[in-house]
Amino acid sequence: MADLIVSPQELRRRVAAWRREGQTLGFVPTMGALHEGHLSLVRQARTECKRVVVSVFVNPSQFGPGEDFSRYPRTLEEDRRLCDPLADVVFTPTVEAMYPSAQEVWVEPGPSARGLCGAFRPGHFRGVLTVVAKLFHMVDPDITYFGSKDYQQGVLVKQMVRQLGFPLEVRLCPTVREPDGLAMSSRNRYLSPAQRAQALCLIRGLRAAERLALGGGRPEVGALKAAVAAEVAKVPEAKVDYIEIVHPESLEPLTGAMRGEALAALAVRIGTTRLIDNLLLRTA
Ligand code: AMP
């Protein structure tokens, strides 16, 4: 079984011992309720690094009022089992260890946090970057692994690492999907069987845009958006937060005819569950 470490000091001692032996360290930060999407990151870390740490921490500062912090699934024993034998350590710090006093100093994201989820979850990415920075200091990895499922988060973490000079590499790994295309997410377990079927409208919409992009010519961004929206609209229970076509690096909304690559991204609420997904579009 992967060792469970709660104390940051103990983690530092463990990492220092690995470092003395010249071993490389991969780090996968998570909020737990692990699934194959998380495990794909852990597997990738395993192939590139001698040692692997997975953190499981439901970070209060990235949830807004009325969001699902208190009901977020917490399945630590199962998480630990799933990490075996891929991870050396599962690090599960307490809220008190991560936030020993009221947080006054934050990592404030730049303009790439303004749109997409940032527009609907004020303070969310500030909370994410701040906890990720703390975790990077505690774990001190060579390489860290994030999922493209949370694409905006991945872009912002890369910017933070580059602009604040963290001595590590960030890998953005592909989204793992269920066989029917639904992006795996810890929040999928909130869905009833009927809602689980409705949730397929996200990937159907993205694939409709993908077909249009690949269909020849340079489709208008408005038409790509409309293709996504038409699929989502087939499910009356699905309430759209946003459907956007953005530049894959700056995350600025695109206009006019599509050129090169574009990211199609959306957030949809089904009942009380908020789901996100995205797909990188290319013209043929
Ligand atoms: P979370 O536990 O939701 O904070 O996610 C932890 C990490 O796993 C983040 O880097 C996510 O982007 C990544 N992740 C979540 N779902 C998936 C998925 N379906 N495929 C790949 N990575 C994922």
Check whether residue 85 and residue 30 sit in a common domain: yes
Check whether residue 100 and residue 149 sit in a common domain: yes
Q: How far is the CA of 31 from the centre of ligand 1 (A)?
A: 9
Verify whether ligand 1 is closer than 6 Å to residue 278 (CB atom).
no
Check whether residue 160 and residue 28 sit in a common domain: yes
Q: How far is the CA of 150 from the centre of ligand 1 (A)?
A: 7
Check whether residue 139 and residue 194 sit in a common domain: no
Q: Give pLDDT, residue 216.
A: 86
Verify whether ligand 1 is closer than 6 Å to residue 88 (CB atom).
no
Verify whether ligand 1 is closer than 6 Å to residue 175 (CB atom).
yes
Cα separations (Å) of 34 from 55, 86, 90, 99, 265? 11, 13, 12, 23, 23
Question: Which atom number of ligand 1 is nearest to the Cα of residue 40?
Answer: 21
Q: Which of 173, 196, 231 is a domain's end point?
A: 173
The enclosing domain of 238 has a CATH number of: 3.30.1300.10
Q: Give pLDDT, residue 139.
A: 98
Q: Which of 134, 150, 173 is a domain's end point?
A: 173
Check whether residue 159 and residue 194 sit in a common domain: no
Catalytic residue among 38, 124, 137, 247: 38
User: Nearest 10 degrees: CA dihedral of 201, 205, 206, 208?
Assistant: 140
Q: Give pLDDT, residue 84.
A: 92
The enclosing domain of 18 has a CATH number of: 3.40.50.620
Residue 144 lies in a domain: yes
Residue 181 lies in a domain: no
Which domain range does residue 104 map to? 3-173
Verify whether ligand 1 is closer than 6 Å to residue 38 (CB atom).
yes
Check whether residue 166 and residue 71 sit in a common domain: yes
Question: Which atom number of ligand 1 is nearest to the Cα of residue 148?
Answer: 12
Active site annotation includes 35:
no
Q: Give pLDDT, residue 1.
A: 82
At a CB cut-off of 8 Å and minimum separation 6, what does 277 contact?
Answer: 149, 175, 183, 202, 203, 206, 265, 266
Check whether residue 14 and residue 133 sit in a common domain: yes
Give the pLDDT confidence of 156-182 residue by residue, as tens digits: 999 999 999 999 999 999 999 999 999
Residue 116 lies in a domain: yes
Picking from 191, 195, 276, the residue whose alpha carbon sits closest to that of residue 228 is 276
What residues of the chain score a pLDDT lower than 50? none
Q: Give pLDDT, residue 182.
A: 98
Verify whether ligand 1 is closer than 6 Å to residue 124 (CB atom).
no
Nearest CA to ligand 1 atom 13: 147
Q: Give pLDDT, residue 253.
A: 97
Check whether residue 275 and residue 226 sit in a common domain: yes
Q: How far is the CA of 13 from the centre of ligand 1 (A)?
A: 27
Task: Report how many domains make up the chain.
Answer: 2
